[in-house]
Structure 1
Amino acid sequence: MLQRVILLLSLVLFPAVPAHAQLAAPVRAMIDAAMATNDADKVKVVADIAKQTNPDDVDEIDALQAGFRQRQRQLAEARTEVRQEALRDAGLLANWGGRGQIGAFQSTGNSSDVGVSASLELRRTGIDWTHLLRGSVDYQRSRGRTSREQYLAAYEPRYVISPRLFAYGLAQFEKDRFSGFDGRYSVSGGLGYQVLQGQPSLSVQAGPAYRRTESIDGTTDTNLGALAGLDFSWRIMEGLRLTQDTDYVTETGGRAQLIADGNNTSLLLVTGLEATIRDGFTTRLSYTVDYNSNPPGNAVTTDTQTRFTLVYGF
């Protein structure tokens, strides 16, 4: 790794100079200044102007450009190897990042309501593996009585097979007494595919699933089934500066998860719109549809929720 760091420094501090250079010093200085920015577009513009004004030195300018492109490739390769070496040497608790979001409300007068919505997502990305941990809670009291209580915890590892193909695993726990169950445990594994990369991005995944549901009436159902999932993200605009200290970057994204077994089919759809306000903080407006085809007890099949939360990324 030390050798790669030394190579990076040498490529930046000591760029190659063609032998028998004849280019005028001011022109060479102008090209060197452009190369020092490491901006390929800027180097091309400056080199094109230099070739127009110095037609006898076109070959030397082309050689300078070729050397710049070669150094850029070497720099990129060296940086990639340094990053990969750092990932290989990282400990279990290193390279974690994530997002936390929280929203709350209180109302008095004709109605007396209080509620909180909070979630945390932790992600660790390695060379081949990605580990994702998610947890969320929704709690609401109306007129002194609990009217909503939902908990979710999930762990999802992914292994990269190719740039687009990956294998996934999923272990998930849910609790929602108002939907009729004290605990619902889901385990799944299968394959996924990155349909769209960049912006927008879209990935799909599918595989067999095992689910155990513990109802509030004391009964337990265990079933084999199938899981299908979808993740979508799209940055609508690159950035819009509204005030001196506020940058807005608007994104939209959604997650869909379908688990079907012999007894019940559940569908969770989450669609959100986010706006970055400053340094890691974003606001998020989201709409959730939670459908269960055969809910326990007298619970309804479909729950929907619109929420506005503050999100912090780290």
Structure 2
Amino acid sequence: MTARSRLQLIAIAALTLPQPARAELPEPVRAMIDAAIATGDEGKVRTVTELARTTNPAEQEEIDAIVARFETAVAARKAVEAEARERKIRAAGVFDNWSGSGEFGAFRATGNSSNTGITAGLTVDREGIDWRHKLTGRVDYQRANGVTTREQFLARYEPNISISDNFYVYALAQYERDRFQGLSARYAVSGGIGYQAIKNEKVQLSLKTGPAYRITQFIGGGSDNRIAGLIGLDFDWTISERLKLTQDTNAVAETGGSAVAIIDSRNTTLQLITGLDASINSSLTARFSYAIDYDSNPPPGAVHTDTFSRVTLVYDF
């Protein structure tokens, strides 16, 4: 018998020998993984399966197969849900799919007026496949001994449309009135491009810029029409499940924090609002915000800077 024949016989004998039984995932470990999968929570499944891999290194392949089946099922479910949402949005009427929040509380003002009063606000928005519409209104008011000592109104509408994953085009129309700042009415329109720099569960950051046109009517009479430029930045940071910090440099948001700069050769205005939202329950939030309004060239008799401290309750609907 040749050496080659002997090797062939040894190989055949090895194949016919009983093979050791393949290790199986222990039942308690499998039950733990099944329980995590039953919750549908991807984070829990990831944590439990990582622990299972660590404690059962011989069953890596079986655990990987379980995870792969779970991820495939989750992806399929999300695809079905996304398709259903898209169908619902496309079939919605003009007055459907709106959501928003109402806000009511107290403010403290310094600058052109120094007083404490009530504040109320309303924000509604509607998100479509590509379009988003946002309407904002706010009133600060105080009246004492038959005399109005604080009266500020703001109304704003901003639609925008996504043109890519990160870029969007916006438009803006805004009205404000504050007779203690010497403004009978101020109108602003703007349009331009925005960029979503960061967008994840914890942090969101977007910037936008574009030309603007502003009409200012003064309490003492007269008006001023100017071409200007608008710069905006929105920043939201979800510190924890119940706590959120907002410092948005945004021409359109009073979401607890916002800021806007409208710049022209004669008069630059800047609004900064820093907010802290503390969630009370799924619909109710306590909001603390501090605002600075700066006007580089205010009407005669008015000062450059006003500040507003607000404490409000916000109801989401």
Q: In the alignment, which residue of structure 2 is the partner of 1:175?
A: 177
In the TM superposition, 1:232-243 aligns within 5 A as 232-239=235-242
Q: In the alignment, which residue of structure 2 is the partner of 1:259?
A: 262
In the TM superposition, 1:175-214 aligns within 5 A as 175-198=177-200, 199-214=202-217
Q: CA deviation at 1:115?
A: 2.2
Three-state SS of the structure 2 residue aligned to 1:146 is strand
Between structure 1 and structure 2, the one with the greater Rg is 2
Could you give the per-residue CA deviations for residues 17-55 of structure 1, whole angstroms, max 9, x where no partner exists? xxxxx9799589735544333334554535974997695
Flag the 1:151–1:26 CA change in 2: closer, same or farther, 3 A.
same
Asked if 2 retains the 8 angstrom alpha-carbon contact of 1:251 and 1:275, the reply is no
Flag the 1:47–1:36 CA change in 2: closer, same or farther, 3 A.
farther
Asked if 2 retains the 8 angstrom alpha-carbon contact of 1:237 and 1:251, the reply is no
Flag the 1:48–1:173 CA change in 2: closer, same or farther, 3 A.
closer
Asked if 2 retains the 8 angstrom alpha-carbon contact of 1:280 and 1:313, the reply is yes
Asked if 1 retains the 8 angstrom alpha-carbon contact of 2:49 and 2:63, the reply is no
Could you give the per-residue CA deviations for residues 245-280 of structure 1, whole angstroms, max 9, x where no partner exists? xxxx35344211011123311111111112112231
Amino acid aligned to 2:132: T
Q: Which moved more, 1:43-52 or 1:205-214?
A: 43-52
Q: In the alignment, which residue of structure 2 is the partner of 1:230?
A: 233
In the TM superposition, 1:101-120 aligns within 5 A as 101-104=103-106, 115-120=117-122
Asked if 2 retains the 8 angstrom alpha-carbon contact of 1:289 and 1:303, the reply is yes
* Percent identical residues: 46
Flag the 1:178–1:60 CA change in 2: closer, same or farther, 3 A.
closer
Three-state SS of the structure 1 residue aligned to 2:240 is coil
In the TM superposition, 1:25-104 aligns within 5 A as 30=31, 32-40=34-42, 42-43=44-45, 45=48, 49=52, 62-104=64-106
Does residue 152 (structure 1) correspond to residue 154 (structure 2)? The answer is yes
Amino acid aligned to 2:90: R
TM-score (norm 2): 0.77
The aligned length equals 277
2:280 to 268, 277, 282: 277
TM-score (norm 1): 0.78
Q: CA deviation at 1:89?
A: 1.1
Amino acid aligned to 1:212: I
Unaligned runs of 5+ in 1: 1-21, 107-112, 240-248
Asked if 2 retains the 8 angstrom alpha-carbon contact of 1:114 and 1:142, the reply is no
Unaligned runs of 5+ in 2: 1-22, 109-114, 248-256
Distance 1:200 1:54 in 2: 36
Three-state SS of the structure 1 residue aligned to 2:280 is strand
Could you give the per-residue CA deviations for residues 161-210 of structure 1, whole angstroms, max 9, x where no partner exists? 12221111000001111111211110000011112212222211110000
Three-state SS of the structure 2 residue aligned to 1:231 is strand
Q: What is the alpha-carbon root mean square deviation over aligned residues?
A: 2.8
Distance 1:230 1:51 in 2: 45
Q: In the alignment, which residue of structure 2 is the partner of 1:11?
A: none
Q: In the alignment, which residue of structure 1 is the partner of 2:17?
A: none
Asked if 2 retains the 8 angstrom alpha-carbon contact of 1:47 and 1:61, the reply is no
Q: In the alignment, which residue of structure 2 is the partner of 1:164?
A: 166
Asked if 2 retains the 8 angstrom alpha-carbon contact of 1:295 and 1:301, the reply is yes
